[in-house]
A and B are shown apart, each in its own frame.
Chain A
Amino acid sequence: MSYALQDTATMLRRNLRHAQRYPGLSLGALGMPVIMILLFGLVFGDTFSAGLGGSGAGFDYIDFLTPGILLMSIASGTMSPAVAVCMDMTEGIVARFRTMAIFRPAVLTGHVLGNVLVTIVSLALVVGFAVLIGFRPNASLGDWLLAAGLMIALTVALTWFAIALGLTSKTPEAASNVVLPISLLLPFLSNTFIPLESMPSGIRWFAEYQPFTPTINTLRHLLLGTPMDSGDGWLALAWCAAIAVVGYFWAQKNYNKGTVA
């Protein structure tokens, strides 16, 4: 068991060095959400505010937007581990790891933990910039901790799933495409940018039942005290657990494919 932790830590160190020496992927993951919050908050903010909440009384778009952008950062952050794991598999080094007596899930777990750390930085940046341009949460420390826990749980879950997808891809380009449904579709087809009530009915139906919507509702509730359905919190956690379990086992299966397990 202690070898499991040691091996995972070794792999995490390797991935953090990669992030530092090949910063393109992680800088993209860090920069994109900041651009989104500034773009939607400052440039489109007034228009959206006017369109959605009427003349502004009691509705501040930046408050509505920020929890959504936080989840969007988590989603768009899954692209870099998917690409990294695919690049890994095309190189000899992973073949070497697979012929060694090391804790088998360590290679992939190292990627997941590395991405969790990068995502935490990215979330902190988004919150920082959001506060700068007017985000005013009224959450207690406990609410913040719960919100952070939920966001980390979602990061772990989506990262495992993205890694499983990355492992099925033959090339890094294919890997970056195959995670697009997670990194783009789910955030946009949810109540990230606009409330569900303002969507066309077909898309609204999808948005209502996909994992992001209850998670964003829970996050808004925790950070801003907005009302939500009583089941949304549990639903969000259930989605995280389900995605994590499927992602984990699918990723392990892809990683061990064809080898003597």
Chain B
Amino acid sequence: MSSAIDVRGLRKSYGDKLVLDGIDLNVAEGTIFGLLGPNGAGKTTAVQILSTLTAADAGEIRVAGFDLHQNPEGVRSAIGVTGQFSAVDGLLTGRENLIMMADLHHLGRREGRLRADELLERFDLVEAGAKLASTYSGGMKRRLDLAMTLVGDPRIIFLDEPTTGLDPRSRHSMWQLIRELVAGGVTVLLTTQYLDEADELADQIAVLDHGRLVAQGTAEQLKRLVPGGHVRLRFTAPDDFALASQVLPAAARDEEALVLQVPNDGSVHSLRALLGRIDDASLEVDELTVHTPDLDDVFFAVTGQPTVETSPEKVTTK
């Protein structure tokens, strides 16, 4: 698979403050890449550099196949950016904002209007389309912002903290929109400080802390980096529970619920070993669930920080 974004040795400092300290990134086409990190980790700076807004101090950067230093215009023609701070024109209506974008992409008068109306429809802004964007709620502004980014059919979209400050409902509708984009073949690089958001959306996650990438992989791979995984076995018969406790002495017991928690990293190999022991003892297990650590644990393990800011709404999918 070819790379939509390829970055090697990206560095940036502001004065004597080092913001990005040698970042390597590779984003495959048609995937969602999540750049995860706390405030001040350098996420926004990374997006600003990749979207040609800020010049890097060092590093080789290719976006959509274009060398960013040699051909920033080529990069600009392939990307769309929705920043952390709303990039809509408050003194224009939603529809006028979209038509302005269509004009800047030289779509032509008729085509531009059609595109604007189609996006208003898709982003649930038809009624709001005739109102000034400055009167929009946070969630509406963010939707208009993303719709404006899509006017030019970009192949690569940068989303800098797309759901920061949104209420849970707007947040979920934004997630849905992002998934639809990628289903249409677009590549998305998103930054977030919410672990659950990266977990929900991203195919690949890179954890950024103090300007360095401290871990990279799929959510599952990252979770396996940290100890603390276990397999939970629930029994219906007290006899089986008692026997299992003898066979698996390392397990934590919950006699009331007839539940054993067996330490296990969740890999195929160790699961097979555990199942073998259950079979050998002819144990009747009512329910077996594998628990890998969540990204909270990962973040703590790789950054040494207790936690990032918690999300406005904790989505638990266990």
Measuring CB to CB, which residues of chain A are less than 8 angstroms from any residue of chain B? 3, 6-7, 10, 13-14, 17-18, 21-22, 91-93, 95-102, 258-261
| 8 A Cβ contacts from B27-57 to A | 51-55
Residue B211 at the A interface, CB < 8 A? no
CA distance A6 to B83 in the complex (A): 26
Q: Which of B65-73, B121-129, B186-194 contacts A (4 or more CB under 8 A)?
A: B65-73
Q: What A residues does B104 contact at CB under 8 A?
A: 7, 10, 97, 100, 102
Interchain CB contact under 8 A, B91 and A259:
no
How many CB-defined contacts (below 8 Å) exist between A and B?
A: 70
Q: What A residues does B85 contact at CB under 8 A?
A: 91-92
Measuring CB to CB, which residues of chain B are less than 8 angstroms from any residue of chain A? 51-55, 68-69, 72-73, 76-77, 79, 81, 83, 85-92, 96, 100, 103-104, 106, 132, 145, 148-149, 152
CA distance A101 to B76 in the complex (A): 5
Interchain CB contact under 8 A, B103 and A259:
no
Interchain CB contact under 8 A, B77 and A101:
yes
A14-B100, A260-B72 known; A99 vs B81 contact (CB < 8 Å): yes
Interchain CB contact under 8 A, A92 and B73:
no
CA distance A101 to B145 in the complex (A): 18
A3-B106, A7-B104, A260-B68 known; A100 vs B91 contact (CB < 8 Å): no
Q: What A residues does B79 contact at CB under 8 A?
A: 99
CA distance A97 to B87 in the complex (A): 9
Interchain CB contact under 8 A, B53 and A99:
yes
Separation in Å of the A18 CB from the closest CB of chain B? 5
Interchain CB contact under 8 A, B55 and A260:
yes
Q: What A residues does B51 contact at CB under 8 A?
A: 99
* A-B contact list, 28 entries, CB within 8 Å: A7-B104, A10-B100, A10-B104, A13-B100, A14-B100, A17-B96, A21-B91, A22-B91, A91-B87, A91-B90, A92-B83, A92-B85, A93-B87, A95-B81, A95-B83, A95-B87, A96-B81, A97-B104, A98-B53, A99-B76, A101-B73, A101-B76, A258-B54, A259-B52, A259-B54, A260-B55, A260-B72, A261-B72
CA distance A6 to B104 in the complex (A): 8
Interchain CB contact under 8 A, B76 and A100:
yes
CA distance A95 to B96 in the complex (A): 18
CA distance A260 to B77 in the complex (A): 14
Interchain CB contact under 8 A, A93 and B88:
yes
CA distance A3 to B87 in the complex (A): 22
Q: What A residues does B145 contact at CB under 8 A?
A: 92
Interchain CB contact under 8 A, A260 and B96:
no
| A102, closest chain B residue (CB) | B104
Separation in Å of the A180 CB from the closest CB of chain B? 26
| B77, closest chain A residue (CB) | A101
CA distance A97 to B81 in the complex (A): 10
- 6 further A-B pairs in the complex, CB-CB below 8 A; given A10-B103, A93-B89: A14-B89, A22-B91, A92-B86, A93-B88, A101-B76, A260-B54
| B47, closest chain A residue (CB) | A99
Q: Which 8 A-B pairs have the closest CB atoms?
A: A92-B87, A96-B87, A101-B76, A101-B77, A260-B72, A10-B103, A92-B85, A99-B81
CA distance A58 to B248 in the complex (A): 116
Q: What B residues does A92 contact at CB under 8 A?
A: 83, 85-88, 145
Separation in Å of the B240 CB from the closest CB of chain A? 61
Separation in Å of the B48 CB from the closest CB of chain A? 8
CA distance A18 to B132 in the complex (A): 11
Separation in Å of the A182 CB from the closest CB of chain B? 26
| B74, closest chain A residue (CB) | A101
Interchain CB contact under 8 A, A96 and B72:
no
Q: What A residues does B52 contact at CB under 8 A?
A: 98-99, 259-260
Q: What B residues does A10 contact at CB under 8 A?
A: 100, 103-104
Separation in Å of the A252 CB from the closest CB of chain B? 15
| B14, closest chain A residue (CB) | A258
Interchain CB contact under 8 A, B91 and A18:
yes
Most buried by B among A14, A92, A102: A92
A96-B83, A96-B148 known; A14 vs B106 contact (CB < 8 Å): no
Q: Which of A7, A17, A96 contacts B91 (CB 8 A)?
A: A17
CA distance A21 to B152 in the complex (A): 27
Q: What B residues does A13 contact at CB under 8 A?
A: 100, 103
Q: What A residues does B87 contact at CB under 8 A?
A: 91-93, 95-96
Separation in Å of the A199 CB from the closest CB of chain B? 44
Q: What B residues does A260 contact at CB under 8 A?
A: 52, 54-55, 68-69, 72
